[in-house]
C-alpha cells in the first residue's frame, strides 16, 4: 500500500524537515520552507519513496576492459561557447546554465541552437516561459532561423517526452527547469521535489539516448542557482552567465565541467542583433582607460589559458568616520584588507584614517592572487597622488611579510602585454626562470612590494 508522507523542503537550498520551520537550518533563510507530499510504497517491509529510481541494468566490468576513446564533441560556430565547454558540446552531457534575469541566457541558447541547427543537427528548444510566437519574434531579431530548429512551449513532462520521441533531437534546451513539472509528483512546479525529479529524468534521458541537454536554472537573490547543491551535483557542467546590466558585455564562466577546465571564460558583447563574440577582451577592458591619473594600473590576469589585461582603479580619500570604509568591486574585499595591512606595516603608509575603494574596470571579476601587486600599487598611487606610467603592466602575489611571490604563466602574460603595445612589465623576480623575455619590452623583476612601488611610482 502507498502512504502519503508530508515533509517540508527549503526552496533556496533543498534542506528537508519533517515539520515546518520559520528559519531554514541549512541556509539560514526565513520563510523558505514549503510543504511537499511524498508517496511511500511499502515493499516487503521496506519503505521506498516514490517515484523510484529508474536506470539501466548493467553488469560490472573490469576497469581495464573499458574503452577510453576520446569523447566526440559537437562544435558550434560560437567559439567562446566552445572554449568554455572545453572544445564543444559532448553528446549525452547535461549542462546547467544560470544567471540573473534578463542577462541574456535565452538569447545565448537560442543563438547556440541556431548555430548547431545550421550545422545539420536536430535541435529542440522547449520554453516554459515564452510562447512559440514570442520565441519566433526573438529568433527573427537575432537572425536565428533554421529548418532543423524546432520550438515548443510546454511544461508537462509527459508531453515533453512525447515531443522528444517525435523529433529525436541531437541537442535539447529546457528553458527553464523550474517551470517543468511531473504530474506524478504531488508538488507545485519549481519546488524541490519537482526540480529533483525532472532533472533526474533529463539526466537519464541524455545518458541513454545520447542527447546533449541544456537546462536553464533560475537564480536566488544572492545570485546562486535555486537549489544549488541539488542541481549542480546532478549535471555534468555548470555555467554562469554574468555581467552588469549597464555594461554591454557578458561573461560566461564554468564553475563545474566534467569534460573540460573550470577556469575558462567566454566574453560576449550584447548588441541589437544579439550576442557577439569578443575576440580580444584586453582591448575592450582598456578602451576607456584614462592616462596620467593616480590610482590606475593595468594587471595581467589569467582566465583559464587566456591572458586578459584589465584596468584596476583605486581611490584613497580621508574619512570622516571613526572606522574607515573598505569597498571593492570585482576584487575580494578580504584580500584588499590584507593588502592594505601590508602597505601599513611593511611600507609605512598611514591608511588608518583613509577610506579605500578598489574597482576592476569593466565589471570583470578578478580572483587569482596574481592581481595583488597591481592592487597594492594602485592603492599606494592614489594615496600618494602619484600617477603610474601608462605603459606599465604589473602582476604578482603579495605575501604578509611584504614579499612578492611567483605566479604561473608569466610568459603568456608578458606576450599579451607586448601584443597590446605596453613597454614595461613589473613582475616577480622568481617568475623569470625558465623562459626568455621578448626583446622589445622591458622586464623589471621585484622581490618585495617596496621595490615594486619604487619602480612603478618613481
- End position of a domain, from candidates 279, 294, 312: 279
Inside any domain, residue 57: no
12 and 148 share one domain? no
Residue 175 in any domain: the answer is yes
Model confidence at 2: pLDDT above 70: no
pTM above 0.85, yes or no: no
Residue 319, SS3? coil
Phi-psi region of 143 (alpha: psi -120 to 50; beta: other; left: phi over 0): left
Q: Provide the number of structural domains found in the chain.
A: 3
Residue 68 included in any domain: no
Per-residue confidence (pLDDT) for residue 68, from 0 to 100: 65
Residue 395 belongs to some domain of the structure: yes
24 with 123, same domain?
A: no
User: Cα(322)–Cα(344) distance, rounded to whole angstroms?
Assistant: 18
Neighbours of 315 (CB within 10 A): 17
The answer on 353 and 432 residing in a single domain is yes
Q: Which segments of 89-203 are extended strands (E)?
A: 94-99, 123-127, 149-153, 171-175
Mean predicted lDDT score pLDDT of the chain: 87
Structural domain contains residue 65: no
Q: Are both 347 and 413 inside the same structural domain?
A: yes
Annotated binding residue 103: yes
Q: Which three cell numbers stand for residue 41?
A: 510504497
Give domain status of residue 62, yes or no.
no
Any idea how long the chain is? 458
Q: Is 260 annotated as a binding residue?
A: no
Residue 50 pLDDT greater than 50, yes or no: no
419 is in an annotated binding site: no
Domain span holding position 409:
284-457
Q: Can you give the pLDDT at residue 166?
A: 95
Domain co-membership, 328 together with 443: yes
The pLDDT value given to residue 71: 63
Q: What's the confidence (pLDDT) of residue 228?
A: 46
The fraction of the chain above a pLDDT of 70, given in percent, is: 91
**384 marked among binding-site residues:** no
Cα–Cα distance measured from residue 237 to residue 303, given in angstroms and rounded to the nearest whole number? 18
106 annotated ligand-binding residue:
yes
pLDDT at res. 57: 66
**What would the pLDDT profile of 132-177 be if each residue is shown by its tens digit?**
999 999 999 999 999 999 999 999 999 999 999 999 999 999 998 9
- The three-state secondary structure class of 62 is coil
Which of 279, 299, 332 represents a domain boundary (last residue)? 279
Distance linking the first and last C-alpha atoms of the chain: 83
Is residue 12 located within the same domain as residue 83?
A: no
Number of C-alpha atoms within 13 angstroms, CB side, residue 375?
Answer: 35
> Residue 289 is part of a domain; what is its CATH number?
3.30.230.10
Name the residue among 388, 385, 389, 373 with its Cα closest to residue 446.
Answer: 373
Residue 303 C-alpha from the chain's centroid: 11
44 with 98, same domain: the answer is no
Residue 100 marked in a binding site:
yes
Domain end point (choices 16, 35, 50): 50
DSSP 8-state class, residue 183: T
Are 240 and 135 members of one domain? yes
d(CA 138, CA 274): 9
Greatest alpha-carbon pair distance for the chain in Å reads 83
Report yes or no on 21 lying in a domain: yes
**CATH code for the domain in which residue 119 is found:** 3.40.50.300
Q: Tell me if 131 is assigned to a ligand binding site.
A: no
Question: What are the tens digits of pLDDT across the range 384-425?
Answer: 999 999 999 999 999 999 999 999 999 999 999 999 999 999
Side-chain half-sphere CA neighbours of 395 within 13 A = 31
Do the domain assignments include residue 56? no
Residue 435 has pLDDT above 60, yes or no: yes
Query: In which band, very low, low, confident or very high, does the pLDDT at 48 lie, cut at 50, 70 and 90?
Result: very low
Say whether both 386 and 420 belong to one domain. yes
248 is in an annotated binding site: no
Same-domain check for residues 291 and 272: no
Strand 392-394, strand 424-428: pairing: parallel
Q: Same structural domain for residues 315 and 332? A: yes
Q: Which is more confident, 179 or 229? A: 179
122/226 same-domain check: yes
Phi-psi region of 63 (alpha: psi -120 to 50; beta: other; left: phi over 0): alpha
User: Which DSSP string do the residues of 194-248 spell out, in sequence order?
Assistant: HHHHHHHHHHHHHHHH--EEEEEE-B-TTSSBSSHHHHHTTSSEEEEEE--TTSS
Amino acid at each position: 500500500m502507498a502512504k502519503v508522507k508530508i515533509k517540508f523542503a527549503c526552496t533556496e537550498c533543498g534542506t528537508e524537515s519533517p515539520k515546518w520551520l520559520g528559519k531554514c537550518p541549512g541556509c539560514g533563510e526565513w520563510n523558505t520552507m514549503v510543504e511537499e507530499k511524498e508517496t511511500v510504497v511499502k515493499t516487503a517491509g521496506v519503505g521506498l519513496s516514490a517515484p523510484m529510481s529508474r536506470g539501466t541494468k548493467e553488469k560490472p566490468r573490469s576497469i581495464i576492459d573499458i574503452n577510453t576513446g576520446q569523447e566526440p564533441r559537437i562544435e558550434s560556430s560560437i567559439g567562446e561557447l566552445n572554449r568554455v565547454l572545453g572544445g564543444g558540446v559532448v553528446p549525452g552531457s547535461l549542462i546547467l546554465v544560470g544567471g540573473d534575469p534578463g542577462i541574456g541566457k535565452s538569447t545565448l541558447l537560442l543563438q547556440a541552437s541556431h548555430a548547431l541547427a545550421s550545422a545539420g543537427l536536430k535541435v529542440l528548444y522547449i520554453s516554459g516561459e515564452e510562447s512559440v510566437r514570442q520565441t519566433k519574434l526573438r529568433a527573427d531579431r537575432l537572425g536565428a532561423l533554421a529548418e532543423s530548429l524546432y520550438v515548443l512551449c510546454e511544461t508537462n513532462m509527459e508531453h515533453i517526452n512525447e515531443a522528444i520521441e517525435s523529433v529525436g533531437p541531437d541537442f535539447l534546451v529546457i528553458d527553464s527547469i523550474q517551470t517543468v513539472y511531473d504530474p506524478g509528483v504531488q508538488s507545485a512546479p519549481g519546488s524541490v521535489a519537482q526540480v529533483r525529479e525532472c532533472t533526474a529524468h533529463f539526466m537519464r534521458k541524455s545518458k541513454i539516448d545520447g542527447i546533449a541537454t541544456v537546462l536553464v536554472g533560475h537564480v536566488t537573490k544572492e545570485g546562486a542557482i535555486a537549489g544549488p547543491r541539488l542541481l549542480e551535483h546532478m549535471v555534468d557542467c555548470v555555467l554562469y552567465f554574468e555581467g552588469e546590466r549597464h555594461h554591454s558585455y557578458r561573461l560566461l564562466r564554468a564553475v563545474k565541467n566534467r569534460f573540460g577546465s573550470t577556469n575558462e571564460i567566454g566574453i560576449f558583447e550584447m548588441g541589437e542583433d544579439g550576442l557577439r563574440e569578443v575576440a580580444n577582451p584586453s582591448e575592450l577592458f582598456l578602451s576607456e582607460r584614462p592616462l596620467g591619473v593616480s590610482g590606475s594600473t593595468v594587471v595581467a590576469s589569467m582566465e583559464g589559458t587566456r591572458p586578459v589585461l584589465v584596468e584596476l582603479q583605486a581611490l584613497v580619500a580621508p574619512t570622516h568616520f571613526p572606522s574607515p570604509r573598505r569597498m571593492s568591486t570585482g576584487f575580494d574585499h578580504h584580500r584588499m584588507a590584507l593588502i592594505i595591512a601590508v602597505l601599513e606595516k611593511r611600507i609605512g603608509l598611514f591608511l588608518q584614517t583613509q577610506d579605500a575603494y578598489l574597482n576592476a574596470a569593466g565589471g570583470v571579476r578578478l580572483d587569482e592572487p596574481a592581481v595583488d601587486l597591481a592592487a597594492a600599487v594602485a592603492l599606494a598611487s592614489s594615496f600618494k597622488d602619484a600617477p603610474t606610467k601608462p605603459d606599465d603592466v604589473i602582476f604578482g602575489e603579495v605575501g604578509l611579510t611584504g614579499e612578492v611571490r611567483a605566479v604561473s604563466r608569466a610568459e603568456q602574460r608578458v606576450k599579451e602585454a607586448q601584443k597590446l603595445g605596453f613597454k614595461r612589465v613589473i613582475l616577480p623576480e622568481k617568475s623569470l626562470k625558465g623562459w626568455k623575455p621578448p626583446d622589445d619590452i622591458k622586464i623589471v623583476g621585484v622581490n618585495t612590494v617596496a621595490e615594486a612601488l619604487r619602480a612603478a611610482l618613481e
